[in-house]
Amino acid sequence: MVTDQKHSSDSMPTEQEVIRYTEKLTQMFGLNKQNTGVYKALFEQILALEKRLEDYHFEYVKLKRKYTVIDTWAKKMDLEWTKRKTLFNFSTMLLVQGKNTIKEFYSKLEECNKNFGHNEEFLKCALLKGLLSKNEIKILMGGLQALALDEIVKRLSPEQ
C-alpha cells in the first residue's frame, strides 16, 4: 500500500507546481490574447491599405488612359501642324529640299500640289527655288532650267 501511495503522489503535482503551471497558462493566455489584439489591429490596417492601394490603382489606370488620349491627341495635332506648315511653305514657295533627294522633294511638291492644283510652271519655280545650292548650280551650269520639270528631276537624280 505504501507503494501505491507513493506512486499516486508521484503522479499528482504539488500545490506549488499547480500554481506555477497555472501562472504559465495565464501568462500564455494573456500573450495570446495580446497577440490576437495585435493581429486584429494589423489585419484591419492591412485591409485599409489594400483598399487604398485599389483606389490608387484605379486612379492610376484613369490617369494612364487620360495620358494615352492626350498623347494621341498631341501626336495628331503635331502631325496636323506639320502638314499645315508644309502646305503653307509650298503655297508661299518656301518649301526646301533639305535632306530629301531630288525625287523625294519633287514627290513632296506633287503631293502638296494636290491640295492647290497649281500648273507645272508653279511647280517648276517651287522646285528650283527650294533646291539645295549644289543642285541649283548643276541646273544653271547645265542649262537645265529650260527643260520640262520631269526632265530636270530625271537629270539631277543620281541613278544615272
pLDDT in tens, 81-98: 999 999 999 888 899 999
Is 148 a member of any domain?
A: yes
Is 157 a member of any domain?
A: yes
Q: How confident is the model at residue 160 (pLDDT cuts 50, 70, 90)?
A: very low
Check which CATH number belongs to the domain holding 116 and give it.
1.10.1200
Whole-angstrom distance, CA of residue 117 vs CA of residue 123: 10
- pTM higher than 0.75, yes or no? no
Is 9 a member of any domain?
A: no
pLDDT digits (tens, 9 = 90+) for 96-132: 999 999 999 999 999 999 989 999 999 999 999 999 9
Is 141 a member of any domain?
A: yes
Is 101 a member of any domain?
A: yes
Total domain count, the chain = 1
First to last CA, the chain: 130
- Provide the domain limits for residue 107: 93-160
Is 18 a member of any domain?
A: no
Is 133 a member of any domain?
A: yes
Is 83 a member of any domain?
A: no
**Confidence check: pLDDT of 53 > 90:** yes
For residue 146, what are the CA distances in angstroms to 121, 136, 142, 143, 153?
11, 13, 10, 7, 12
Average confidence score pLDDT of the chain = 83
